[in-house]
Amino acid sequence: MPHTLDASAVRAWCRLALESLGRAREEIDAINVYPVADGDTGTNLYLTMESAAQSVEAVFVGHAASGHAPDLAQAFRAMSHGALIGARGNSGTILAQLLRGMAEALTDDPASAAEAGGPDAAGLLRRALRRAAGSAYLAVAHPVEGTMLTVATEAATAAERDAGGLVSVARAAHQGARVALTATTGQLAVLGRAGVVDAGGRGLVAVLGSLADALSGEVPMGPLADHAPAVPYGCRDEDGSDPHAVPGGPSFEVIYLLEAADTALPALRARLDALGDSLVVVGGDGLWNVHVHVDDAGSAIEAGIEAGRPYRIRVTHFGDQTRRRPDPDAHVVLDPVSRHHEGAGEVAGPPERVRRAVVAVVRGDGLAELCAQAGATVVAVRPGDPPASGEIAAAIRRANAREVVLLPNDVELRHAAGAAADRARGDGVRVALIPTRSAVQGIAALAVHEPARRFDEDVVAMTSAAGATRYAELAVAEHQSWTMAGICQAGDVLGLIDGDVAVIGGNLVETGTIVLDRMLAAGGELVTLVLGATAPPDLADRIQAHVQAGHIAVDTVVYQGGHQTGPLLIGVE
């Protein structure tokens, strides 16, 4: 039974598209040679659409209790939002933007949404397809023809040329996409050498075919046999590598969701574009999905931290995708700070040759001892004498590991740590720099460090833990000065949150509790207190009591930072 352009049609489209991508997934994976021959485009498109379909189903379930179905705007926004938060890979991220562009055209204007079931539904679909193609081009830093962008554009053009009704326009878009897909082999050299069509475009053809099927109510069309590649699917060299892979490209794919203001996006795009390629940033209204291929995954994540709040961070090393994963039964759990893995088994003794190490730059003898007990190689910061890159590089060599995670734990040491990492990479050591800005972020990262898992997975987990930890510190003003919180006098206690003065108080307890209340107002599960040598003996007890009284579900852990640290460091996870 044919559908109008309504919420039920969106639901049917999601279901059919998921089925179609499921059938074509292995085929699409096999012809994936651009931008990186990592053989996962079909899987990424399927997972992206699965997230979109689940979001739409949730909207229908939520409305079932009231006895009313959702309207077109609610269903389409759910579809595009689900695709955004679940987007995987370059192709999945572009698909999410295509769906968002359609959603904007179909739902932003109440008059347009009302037309969806009326006589101009076909015209509305034409406008939505054009909006989708245009928004996808804008989301990609350097658009390339012969990709799913080209397929989307030709689909929109074919729809605009069709003068028929809603189903006719949808069929025309699908046919236009099929024709455009066939042409991609001759538009992009890497596709021509491999004798295949663009994998992302192939997935988009499946999605648009499902749209036509959903609107027409007809049985879905069969597979696109005329788009078979000229080389066998899954063709690999004897060493397991893909013969079509282009050497010299970036090593990592970095994807994360980002909560950030629109004004932060231009600087983020510029920085990520300078770091690597295949940059796609999609979304809006304060939520973005960021995708980029880089050699320095830490810098790409740091760019997100500076722009806003990144989460659901995924880092994939392209060289690891064809390697066999380690046996999960051989997984070793490391519990360096004994608070994130209660009941974990003992750590196995170190192998004859160290596989992975953590190098932490720390201030204070207490923190140095804590990090050393957690298994890190420590670079101590001496009073008034921050370590140079050569000293940090020497610590990396001293760790004697093939893989090193580097924690600078200070904003001002980021460049020295970066230079040290570059020197170590030149010596053949694989180094990941996690941009920790405070010792409490370094502690959080160490707490989830597990050397038995893959390197990129370990780096992602540690980076996520550090990024989820807000930091603050208390300091005593040495002289009168102007701050972000107003004018302070010598002897005032300053509460700095994320590096900026937020509170001016009269004593450490008062200022500390105000700072903590502000930080916990945004949520938190664990408070870390690091006491300096000059902290009063009862400071930790009084702040702990305040947390227990006002924030019942929040746990507190206390460490002695020792000399060279301020009176109090605070972390909130």
Q: What is the pLDDT of residue 176?
A: 95
Q: What is the pLDDT of residue 38?
A: 67
Q: Could you give phi then psi for residue 499, rounded to 5 degrees? A: 95, -10
pLDDT band at 361 (very low <50, low <70, confident <90, very high): very high
Q: What is the pLDDT of residue 184?
A: 93
For the segment 418-428, the average pLDDT, to the nearest whole number, is 84
Query: Which residues have CB under 8 Å from 426's CB, separation 6+?
Result: none
Tokens for 85, please give them. Answer: 């938060």
CATH topology for 334-344+352-468 is: Rossmann fold (3.40.50)
Average pLDDT, the chain: 81
pLDDT band at 225 (very low <50, low <70, confident <90, very high): very low
How distant is the alpha carbon of residue 498 from its chain centre?
Answer: 21
Q: Could you tell me the CA-to-CA distances from 127 to 122, 134, 205 in Å, in that order?
A: 9, 11, 18
Reported residue count of the chain is 573
Work out whether strand 401-407 and strand 354-362 pair parallel, antiparallel, or are unpaired: parallel
Q: Which CATH architecture has domain 470-572?
A: 2-Layer Sandwich (3.30)
- Any idea which residue has 């996409």 for tokens? 177
What is the rounded CA–CA span in Å between residue 8 and residue 17?
Answer: 14
Asked whether the beta carbons of 390 and 476 are under 8 A apart, the reply is no
Per-domain boundaries in the chain = 7-227, 247-321, 334-344+352-468, 470-572
**Of residues 422, 446, 315, the one with CA closest to residue 372:** 446
| DSSP 3-state of 562 | strand
The secondary structure of residue 484, as a DSSP letter, is T
What is the rounded CA–CA span in Å between residue 269 and residue 370?
Answer: 38
Strand partners, 315: 254
State the pTM of this model.
0.54
Instruction: Spell out a b/e string for 276-297, using b for 16 or more CB atoms within 10 Å of the CB, else e.
Output: bebbbbbbeeeebbbbbbbebb
CATH topology for 247-321 is: Alpha-Beta Plaits (3.30.70)
For 318-334, the pLDDT digits (tens) are: 654 433 333 323 322 22
CA dihedral (175, 178, 182, 188) positive or negative = positive
Triad 164, 167, 21: Cα angle to 5°: 140
pLDDT at 532 over 60: yes
Q: Which CATH architecture has domain 7-227?
A: Alpha Horseshoe (1.25)
pLDDT at 284 over 90: no
**Helix (H), strand (E) at residue 569:** strand 568-572
Q: What is the pLDDT of residue 119?
A: 59
Torsion-angle region of 129 (φ positive above 0: left; ψ -120 to 50: alpha; else: beta): alpha
For 41-58, the pLDDT digits (tens) are: 888 898 899 889 988 988
For 427-450, the pLDDT digits (tens) are: 888 888 888 888 999 999 999 999
Work out whether strand 252-259 and strand 309-317 pair parallel, antiparallel, or are unpaired: antiparallel
For the segment 268-295, the average pLDDT, to the nearest whole number, is 90
106 C-beta neighbours (distance < 10 Å), count: 27
- Distance between start and end Cα atoms, the chain: 52
- Say if residue 23 is exposed, middle or buried (CB neighbours under 10 Å; 0-12, 13-18, 19+): middle
Asked whether the beta carbons of 512 and 539 are under 8 A apart, the reply is yes
